Structure 1
Amino acid sequence: MENLKKVSPFRLSSLLRLEKDPNLALQLFRNPNPNPNPNPNPNPNPNPTQKPFRYSLLSYDLIITKLGHGKMFDQMEQILDQMKQETRFSPKEIIFCNVITFYGRSRLSELALRTFDRIPSFRCQRTVRSFNSLLNALLNCRELEKFREMYLDIDRYASPDACTYNILINACCSSSSLDNAWRLFDEMQSKGIQPNVVTFGTLISALCANAKLDEAFRLKDDMMRKFHVNPNAFIYTSLIKGLCKINELDLAFKLKAEMLDSKLKLDSAVYSTLISALFRAGKKGEVSNVLEEMSETGYKPDTVTYNAMISGFCKENDFESAFGVLNEMGKKGCKPDVISYNIIIAGFCKEGRLREASDLLEDMPRRECSPDVVSYRTLFDGLCDRMEFKEAAFILDEMVFKKYVPRIASVNKFVDGLCQEGNMDLLLKVLNSLAKVNVIDVDTWKMAITKVFKKAELSNTSELVDVLAMP
């Protein structure tokens, strides 16, 4: 029988690119040309003249990327060690940048640092590119002390570029150190490094988040006039959100029109922000105009847009209209998500309509949407606030069964209420459930135990333990 055509290194790269499953991709990489007729008692070296497979750099890049995306880090490290033995080529720095990024996203800072330190051992020179990847990974991991150490020692590794300063400025803005962010902005210019749209976007977003709209607009003007950098959609969105927070709707809509004139793509975040602001300002009648414009400009309302409307109606206690939006979503082929239902459950609980909130939570699976931990916490909180302790105990049992943990503040309120009522049977049952998820604090335990001792007249702690251990 004629042998099957062998997979070439070029063909392997093509196959790896097409394979979506990282496990199957790894099998293919490790054994690109399996023996179709394996010998049951093989010789350790049946064909000593057969040459080993000559993997290409692209194949290594592809498999490392797929394993990284799949968080198969042990296998990824094995492939890296194999690549290190290659003598036909030197790996490109981008491969290690990707590995560092994968570790950063998974909050594995030590492995990100280790990868950066190992780059020279692969006969690959470190540049500012891998240094920036490491800085960004450390920022994602919130390793701010190590982040600072690397920055102070930056000259040992590379000359900073605009990307370096963007990461540093982002770190300052994330920690509310706007003064330091401005100092870095001035420093990069003093070093001849031109700020780019990311630099301005980071600063403008931080200014808007801190209600410094005047400074944000001045910076927008400067970036266009002095630096000849045009604002992108992110900058406009940040400004619109900032304006909506302070109910400057006319200017927010003016910026939205500016985006359309600049041919910038508007996303659901912009429209949802405007819709929410209209509800807050008591102008829900204008929401239809926004939806009409979306249709005219080719933007379909998505779940985020509809959820903004649901939230607006619930805040007005117009639950009939909120359910009307749910029905409209189904007609438009936009399936409500768990947030859609959680918004209504929270609205019902706020108004004390606990039966309707409970009915909706029970009805969610029929509506093809399973309640999550927020659904249960919201209802449990509402029941505790209204001192509906029997129903709260029922919901608590469901939460414990699903391994959902209630909020400690509600737990304390729940136990305190049961102690005040003197319902020892329910209190003991609740304590037993709470012990399974370990969410009751020391002070609440003391209060409950004192009440149990006093009411049940238990003679010693061993009897108390027996009671608490009851199913």
Structure 2
Amino acid sequence: MEKVKMITPFRLSSLLRLEKDPKLAFQLFRNPNPESSKKPFRYSLLSYDLIITKLGRAKMFDEMEEILDQMKEENRFLPKEVIFCNIITFYGRSRLSEQALRTFDRIPSFRCQRTVRSLNSLLSALLNCRKLDKMREIYLDIDQYSSPDACTYNILINAASLNNSLVVAWDLFDEMRRKGIQPNVVTFGTLISALCENSKLDDAFRLKEDMQRAFQVKPNAFVYVSLIKGLCKANELDLAFKLKEEMLVDKTLGLDSAVYTTLISALFQAGRKGEVSGVLEEMREAGCKPDTVTYNAMISGFCVEKDFDSAFGVLDEMKEKGCNPDVISYNIIIAGLGKDGRLREACDLFEDMPRRGCAPDVVSYRIVFDGLCKGMEFKEALSILDEMVFKGFVPRGSSLEKFVDRLCMEGDIDMLVSVLNSLANGNAINVDTWKMVTKTVCKKTELFNSSEIFDMLLPS
């Protein structure tokens, strides 16, 4: 019998890099040579890095922590800080702030020195989790962790901007300059975006001039897009188009579909839809292909104007151009038809979505369910509710409350029981739902004595 070739530490790293399934990669790492019962396997630092990255991306955090504990016992090498930065980032993306903090705190126990790199990873993770108070706590004692750099301040300024604290953002900007830290294009982009969001366009344009004149930092596409969005929001379309022309002249700015989409939306809002075709033509001539977001902006504009023939025409054009409509495309039209009282057409389009190659999502179902309830189409609403529950969706709490209330007003006990059965069978009733239904039913004295309803309202 041919002898089984043993996997070496170098070979393990290669196999882990090639393995697509994180579960199989984990099994391989834990037992690289199942036929061998000799001395322990000598794992390399690269193998640890690879498996931790695969498990973190797959959100297999229990297994990742198991590998991390194993790595802690190694004495042949010192782990690199980047491994912990990645782990903190994985936790941040999954909104697991406590685990991100714990990982940061544990870094020294691995005989690894923390630097500004892991500090920035932690701040970014906390920002993803919207733990702004914790970020402020760390900032107040920031010198005990590391010396902050431009990236540190960019994250803090972004947090202040998201919290609508422009004064704090400016204070941070001033502080980084006092410390001799040079602001970069991200710093200015974040501040300009925040100013535009708060309709402080004059300040935003002054800062754009300052970044070029005083700091020799060239504005990037993000800066221009923020300013264009701000101008469109203020209905200053002529200035917005002027900025777009600046971007066309400077080929390094990478004029993309986001700019044109913003302008198209603004044209519809300003009642200038006749200019949209010209923007689309220019867009194509500039080598910028309209994407789904662009077409959806057009669909939305036509639906607001109740021009549904044109909205459906956009759907057809998308297919012709090889840009398949997504669920948002259909949801916009379904919602628009419902608001215009064309409920039957909305339901027809909803039912036709699978044939068109796009499955309805929870938003689709909620739009149709709300429309049917508003139109007093209770039987069809119940049918949609059954489908929702079967697919793991539930209506909005406020919609469900209105539905139950209307059934109570109609005195339709059988329908009410069917609704409760549907929700219960799909495990779609939580404590808040039960409280709402109980409160609604008990307000209706004509139903209060119904033992059938009362029994339905008692959790089993």
Instruction: Give TM-score, length-normalised by structure 2.
Output: 0.91
The aligned counterpart of 1:445 is: 438
Cα distance change, pair 457–12 in 1 and its aligned pair in 2 (3 A): closer
Instruction: Quote how far apart the aligned CAs of 1:201 are.
Output: 1.2
The aligned counterpart of 2:239 is: 251
CA contact (8 A) 1:315 1:347 kept: yes
SS of corresponding position for 1:366 = coil
SS of corresponding position for 2:224 = helix
1:286 corresponds to which of 270, 275, 278: 275
CA distance in 2, matches of 1:57, 1:443: 55
One-letter amino acid of the structure 2 residue matched with residue 75 of structure 1: E
Deviations 1:259-283 (A, max 9, x none): 2322222333222111111112222
Instruction: Quote how far apart the aligned CAs of 1:463 are.
Output: 5.0
CA distance in 2, matches of 1:150, 1:455: 56
CA contact (8 A) 1:109 1:138 kept: yes
Matched, 1:17 2:17: yes
Instruction: Quote how far apart the aligned CAs of 1:16 are.
Output: 2.7
Matched, 1:454 2:442: no
One-letter amino acid of the structure 2 residue matched with residue 135 of structure 1: L
CA distance in 2, matches of 1:133, 1:239: 29
CA distance in 2, matches of 1:13, 1:326: 48
CA distance in 2, matches of 1:389, 1:378: 15
Instruction: Quote how far apart the aligned CAs of 1:71 are.
Output: 0.9
One-letter amino acid of the structure 2 residue matched with residue 147 of structure 1: M
Deviations 1:152-185 (A, max 9, x none): 1212111111111111111111111111111111
One-letter amino acid of the structure 1 residue matched with residue 406 of structure 2: G
The aligned counterpart of 1:301 is: 290
CA distance in 1, matches of 2:279, 2:340: 29
2:332 corresponds to which of 340, 343, 363: 343
Structure 2 residue ranges without an equivalent (≥5): none
Matched, 1:265 2:254: yes
SS of corresponding position for 1:357 = helix
Cα distance change, pair 360–240 in 1 and its aligned pair in 2 (3 A): same
The aligned counterpart of 1:406 is: 395
Cα distance change, pair 420–244 in 1 and its aligned pair in 2 (3 A): same
Deviations 1:49-105 (A, max 9, x none): xx5443332222222111111111122122222222322321111111111111111
One-letter amino acid of the structure 2 residue matched with residue 301 of structure 1: P
CA contact (8 A) 2:434 2:457 kept: no
- RMSD (CA atoms): 2.5
CA contact (8 A) 2:441 2:447 kept: no
One-letter amino acid of the structure 1 residue matched with residue 299 of structure 2: I
CA distance in 2, matches of 1:90, 1:446: 61
CA distance in 2, matches of 1:410, 1:53: 59
CA contact (8 A) 1:377 1:407 kept: yes
SS of corresponding position for 1:369 = coil
SS of corresponding position for 1:367 = coil
Cα distance change, pair 413–11 in 1 and its aligned pair in 2 (3 A): same
Greater mean alpha carbon deviation, residues 335-344 or residues 299-308: 299-308
Cα distance change, pair 4–287 in 1 and its aligned pair in 2 (3 A): farther
One-letter amino acid of the structure 1 residue matched with residue 180 of structure 2: G
CA contact (8 A) 1:107 1:140 kept: yes
CA distance in 2, matches of 1:405, 1:223: 49
CA distance in 2, matches of 1:120, 1:467: 56
Instruction: Quote how far apart the aligned CAs of 1:193 are.
Output: 1.0
User: Pairwise mapping of residues 123-162 of structure 1 onto structure 2 (< 5 A)?
Assistant: 123-162=111-150
SS of corresponding position for 2:253 = coil
CA contact (8 A) 1:403 1:437 kept: no
The aligned counterpart of 2:222 is: 234
CA distance in 2, matches of 1:269, 1:192: 35
Instruction: Give TM-score, length-normalised by structure 1.
Output: 0.89
Between the aligned residues of both structures, percent identity stands at 74
1:389 corresponds to which of 368, 372, 378: 378
1:355 corresponds to which of 341, 344, 347: 344
Cα distance change, pair 5–412 in 1 and its aligned pair in 2 (3 A): closer
Cα distance change, pair 408–34 in 1 and its aligned pair in 2 (3 A): closer
Instruction: Quote how far apart the aligned CAs of 1:347 are.
Output: 0.6
Cα distance change, pair 75–107 in 1 and its aligned pair in 2 (3 A): same
Cα distance change, pair 190–358 in 1 and its aligned pair in 2 (3 A): same
CA contact (8 A) 1:428 1:468 kept: no
Give aligned pairs, total: 454
User: Pairwise mapping of residues 211-230 of structure 1 onto structure 2 (< 5 A)?
Assistant: 211-230=199-218
Deviations 1:272-327 (A, max 9, x none): 11111111222222222222222222222211111111111111211112111112
Cα distance change, pair 23–468 in 1 and its aligned pair in 2 (3 A): closer
Greater mean alpha carbon deviation, residues 177-186 or residues 427-436: 427-436
Cα distance change, pair 52–346 in 1 and its aligned pair in 2 (3 A): same
Instruction: Quote how far apart the aligned CAs of 1:7 are.
Output: 4.4
The aligned counterpart of 1:327 is: 316
CA distance in 1, matches of 2:70, 2:79: 12
Greater mean alpha carbon deviation, residues 401-410 or residues 123-132: 401-410
The aligned counterpart of 1:29 is: 29
CA contact (8 A) 1:128 1:160 kept: yes
One-letter amino acid of the structure 2 residue matched with residue 304 of structure 1: V
CA contact (8 A) 2:247 2:255 kept: yes
